[in-house]
Amino acid sequence: MPFADINGVSIHYEATGTGPPMIFSHEFAGDSRSWKPQVEAFAGDFRCVTWNYRGFPPSDVPEDRSAYSQDILVEDLRALMDHLEIEQAHVAGLSMGGSVTLHFALTYPERCLSAVVGGAGTGTVNRPQFKEDVARIVDLLETRSMAEFAEIYALAPTRTPFKEKDPAGWEQFKQHLAEHSTVGSANMMREVQLKRPTIFSLEEQLSQLTVPTLILIGDEDEPCVEPAVFMRRKIPTSGLMTLPQSGHTINLEEPELFNQAVSKFLTMVQEKRWRMRSSVSTSMMPSGD
């Protein structure tokens, strides 16, 4: 099991396949295992790297809350690339990993061949409700076992489409979540999820981003719909794909559709057919009869 000493913390990672590097960053309720359908799909053409953040065993779990932040995760990703001697990579992420991917592209655009931002932006809209939800989640993590927490968290409204479509896959997702650290998860929720910038606050930076970017969401992932549309409008090199009747965990819930979208995107990027829009028009004039 490979580990890298990164910024004073031991980080677990896996590298599979050969070709241009592609690095996957996981969501709060997932880990490196969450990307199995993508690694299986892309390892024939890409060097697929998955990793567990600090706070997610078998990576180290610092107890000090100051060891966690959005910026720290971005720096961990950069250091992991340095450790693996990767100068540039396609970077992809879901949810919290989507935010890591987005912020990495904003901070280190020269290290990115492309960016896939899936299900990102929770906490951007309805901020008071989000803060209440975070407080409840942290309370559950600090008063229940991880297994008890997983039973509750995996039944969130944006997770139920996954359970309905693939009960066995959802059960495995829940089981993996139950193996996480309560300390690491609580620190991530308080110091990363709650304190990271909202998507709306990034307007100026998004408008200057030139990394080819694919934004992916499920149409039943309500907290992420408006942020996804906002990113699509502001990032001139972006495209948006919405998966119908799908929730938050789209890479596991709809792996075939997810992989097809990413595959087409990567092909267009590699063939230099992914374009930059010169402007974003809000005109209501019809484009044809």
Q: How far is it, in rounded angstroms, from Cα 40 to Cα 17?
A: 9
For the chain, the straight-line distance linking the first and the last C-alpha, in angstroms and rounded, comes to 60
Amino acid, res. 131: K
Query: Helices (DSSP H) in 44-192: which residue ranges?
Result: 70-83, 96-107, 127-143, 146-153, 160-165, 167-178, 182-188
Q: How far is it, in rounded angstroms, from Cα 48 to Cα 21?
A: 6
| Residue 235 confidence (pLDDT) | 98
pLDDT along the chain (289 residues), means of 10: 96 98 98 98 98 98 98 98 98 98 98 98 96 97 97 96 97 98 98 98 98 98 97 98 98 98 98 83 51
What pTM value is reported for the model?
0.95
Provide the token pair at 263. 């595959």
| Residue 277 confidence (pLDDT) | 84
The residues facing 10 across adjacent strands are 5
| Residue 280 confidence (pLDDT) | 53
Ramachandran angles phi, psi of 47, nearest 5°: -85, 100
Provide the token pair at 120. 């990102």
Q: How far is it, in rounded angstroms, from Cα 277 to Cα 275?
A: 6
Q: Is the peptide bond before 58 cis (omega within 30 degrees of 0)?
A: yes
- Mapped onto helix, strand or coil, the DSSP state of residue 239 is strand
User: What dihedral angle (degrees, nearest 10) is formed by the CA atoms of 253, 130, 76, 153?
Assistant: -40
Domains and CATH numbers, the chain: 3-270 (3.40.50.1820)
The answer to whether the beta carbons of residues 161 and 245 sit under 8 Å apart is yes
| Residue 180 confidence (pLDDT) | 98
